[in-house]
């Protein structure tokens, strides 16, 4: 298996997810160990497909959560029964978090394909949405509203994969902690390749919320995200130009055919490969670009963020079956249960 040490350009370094995730695992395990068995965070996950990637992800979440002292229950259901099953888990106060393995390859009454996935995301109660993908959290994210409630006692959850990237960048010290929360990336230029609703788009918005200038590149268009503002970029500008300007490059293209030319990457830049496919030749990058730090995979950090979200939802909403939504603030707070008759 030994292939010899690959050549590295001066100061270039590969950064593993293991290196980043370790402090989070410790923190999560300590938080769980401090709780009595019966009130440990409990997640219910729904699997409604036999897609091998979904099955594998389900097994991996199970193993990780159990290792860390959390309770995990996988419910295998028909796509037709998912809405009802999610509704039941919403109503169960012993459940702290709900996740669904997408995509759903079936029909819901009145929905199919992507619109079924969309409808299901919004069916998960915001008090249990570990993935942070329901309308409420999408909207707080894009509005840079960081708390669920007006008292700012309950922080919003953020979608796991984009959050994992943020934590990786924090670990690599590109956030300027001397500045306020929403300016710690100011002066930084970041390119995010791919603009999916689950990863690329929310990540671009989150980095812009923290002050960065973000080029959000997709097959047919590029937008610049700057703190709540989005502008279209002229069709003549190329991805190569954006990448050459960027201190950070995020690669999230879900195909094996996309390969970024390593020579585009600035010296000293950070490259994070979020896709399950390698969107760049990491060895060539590390061998040729001085000072580059390359993160080849983020999956382990993503699962840690799922666990962190579960802990946060438990803190924010444990035992709460009613939510009060205030239309004048757009904020939500837990409400006391109805007294039984």
For the annotated catalytic residues, the residue numbers are 160
Interface with a second copy (CB under 8 A), residue from 11, 268, 319, 330? 330
Q: Which of residues 130-169 bind a second copy (CB under 8 A)?
A: 135, 138-139, 141-143
Interface with a second copy (CB under 8 A), residue from 115, 180, 255, 263? 115
**Considering only 68-76, 172-180, 242-250, 330-338, which stretch makes contact with a second copy by CB under 8 A?**
330-338
x/- string (CB under 8 A) for a second copy, residues 281-310? ------------------------------
Q: Which is nearer to a second copy, 205 or 274 (CB)?
A: 205
Is residue 277 within 8 Å of residue 258, measured between CB atoms?
yes
234 binding a second copy? (CB under 8 A) = no
Q: Which is nearer to a second copy, 4 or 109 (CB)?
A: 109
Spacing of C-alpha 316 from chain mean position: 19
- Residue 43 φ then ψ, to 5°: -115, 135
Q: How far apart are CA 168 and CA 151, in angstroms?
A: 29
Q: Which is nearer to a second copy, 38 or 338 (CB)?
A: 338
Q: How far apart are CA 7 and CA 287, in angstroms?
A: 5
State the burial class of residue 287 (Cβ atoms within 10 Å of its Cβ: 0-12, 13-18, 19+): middle
- Residue 224 φ then ψ, to 5°: -100, 125
- Residue 129 φ then ψ, to 5°: -85, 80
107 binding a second copy? (CB under 8 A) = yes
Strand partners, 243: none
Reduced to 3 states (helix: H, G, I; strand: E, B; else coil), residue 264 is helix
List residues binding a second copy (CB under 8 A). Answer: 80, 83, 87, 90-91, 107-111, 115, 118-119, 122-123, 125, 127, 135, 138-139, 141-143, 197, 201-202, 204-205, 223, 225, 228-230, 232, 321-330, 335, 338
């Amino acid at each position: 298996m030994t292939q010899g040490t690959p050549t590295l350009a001066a100061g270039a370094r590969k950064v593993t997810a293991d290196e980043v995730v370790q402090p989070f695992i410790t923190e999560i395990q300590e938080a769980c160990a401090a709780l009595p068995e019966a009130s440990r965070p409990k997640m219910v996950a729904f699997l409604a497909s036999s897609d091998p990637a979904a099955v594998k992800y389900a097994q991996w979440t199970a193993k990780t959560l159990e290792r860390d002292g959390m309770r995990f229950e996988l419910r295998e259901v028909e796509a037709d029964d998912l809405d009802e099953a999610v509704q039941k888990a919403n109503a169960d106060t012993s459940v702290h978090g709900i996740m669904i393995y997408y995509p759903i390859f079936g029909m819901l009454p009145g929905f199919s394909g992507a619109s079924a996935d969309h409808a299901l995301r919004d069916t998960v109660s915001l008090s249990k949405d570990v993935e942070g993908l329901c309308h409420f959290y999408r909207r707080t994210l894009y509005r840079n509203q960081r708390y669920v409630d007006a008292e700012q006692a309950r922080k919003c959850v953020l979608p796991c994969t984009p959050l994992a990237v943020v934590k990786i960048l924090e670990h690599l010290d590109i956030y300027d902690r001397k500045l306020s929360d929403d300016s710690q990336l100011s002066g930084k230029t970041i390119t995010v390749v791919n603009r999916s609703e689950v990863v690329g788009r929310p990540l671009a918005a989150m980095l812009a919320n923290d002050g960065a200038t973000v080029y959000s590149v997709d097959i047919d268009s590029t937008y610049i995200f700057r703190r709540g503002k989005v502008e279209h970029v002229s069709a003549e500008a190329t991805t190569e130009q954006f990448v050459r300007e960027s201190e950070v490059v995020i690669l999230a293209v879900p195909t094996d055919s996309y390969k970024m030319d390593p020579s585009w990457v600035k010296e000293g830049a950070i490259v994070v490969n979020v896709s399950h496919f390698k969107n760049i030749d990491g060895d060539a990058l590390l061998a040729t670009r001085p000072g580059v730090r390359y993160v080849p995979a983020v999956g382990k950090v993503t699962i840690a963020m799922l666990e962190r979200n579960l802990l946060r939802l438990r803190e924010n909403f444990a035992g709460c079956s009613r939510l009060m939504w205030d239309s004048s603030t757009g904020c939500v707070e837990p409400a006391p249960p109805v007294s039984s008759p």
